Chain A
Amino acid sequence: MKLSELREGESGVVVEVRGDSEVRRKLLDMGIVKGAEIKMVRNAPLKDPVEFELKGYYLSLRRKEAENVIVE
């Protein structure tokens, strides 16, 4: 499933990072790599952006960007 589909408190393991080369690069740079465990922490008031927790730090992503990440 897509990272953007995780509900509050749910977590998954990254299996694939899609998107055009720029978006993909940026996500990889920020630590969203294959095998990383990632937890959806909460939504902003309008459900965008979304806050995630991975490797001990918090990261906010736009819903659109989170759609590029496939988790299991």
Chain B
Amino acid sequence: MIKVALAGNPNVGKSVIFNALTGMRQKIGNWPGVTVEKKEGVCKYKDVEFHIVDLPGIYGFTAHSIDEKIARDYILKEKPDVVVNVVDASNIERNLYLTMQLIEMEANIVIALNKMDLAEQRGYKIDVRKLSRELGVPVTPTVAVRGEGIEELKSAILQASKTKRKPSIRYSDGIERYISLVESKVIENSILPDCPLRFVAIKLLELDNEIMKEAKVGKEVIEKWISLVS
């Protein structure tokens, strides 16, 4: 059995993809303790069972809203085997921001580049191969409302579950210096050892309230750390 999560911005066709993958085999409930809908379903492909969870539609993982917190906790704590990042091809720039964050969280992602028909109508020409190469993750174009690309997506999910990639995004040297410094402090103080190191370091640098709380590190401490650079 493969654990799969669907993540993406609101209104990208995530639910359509979820329905296309799972068909009638769905279970709808709530996330524990909150009134946010949780949709789960099963999909069988080449004798392998995918257990699919549809995460709430979000713009980022800053955990300010309950939706973002649910999605973040699920990916970091439940560690799904594959995260299908549904990207709206007609709004690709804004959508890829979430992709960047998923990569930083070291999620094993597969991109479903959805609404390809709409992107074409808008005159966008997307070089899918190049996008995949630049990001270091597999990309499958889909038009979910017409069922196009769904079989290819299933095959990409299965593939990805066998080969865990670890792409990473390099920032400018200046920022990387701060990241490595904070990383060393995170190791030194064994902060959140179950979470990806680079992700924790970046979030602490962003002074992300939620992560600071979980790590029990205050703003002053982080500011003291980074004063050591330069």
Which residues of A pack against B, CB within 8 Å? Answer: 21-22, 25-26, 28-31, 55-57
Contacts and interface: CB of A to CB of B under 8 A. Distances in A.
Interface string B98-124: 000000000000000000000000100
A29 B59 contact: yes
Nearest to A21: B207
B177 interface: no
Size range of the interface on B? 10 to 19
Nearest to A23: B64
B64 A57 contact: no
B99 to A, nearest CB: 13
A55 B64 contact: no
Interface of B: 59-60, 62, 64, 90-91, 93-94, 97, 122, 206-207, 209
A24 to B, nearest CB: 10
Given A21-B207, A29-B97, A55 B62 contact: no
A55 B94 contact: yes
B160 to A, nearest CB: 26
Contacts of B60: 25-26, 28-29
Given A21-B207, A56-B122, A31 B62 contact: no
Contacts of A29: 59-60, 62, 97
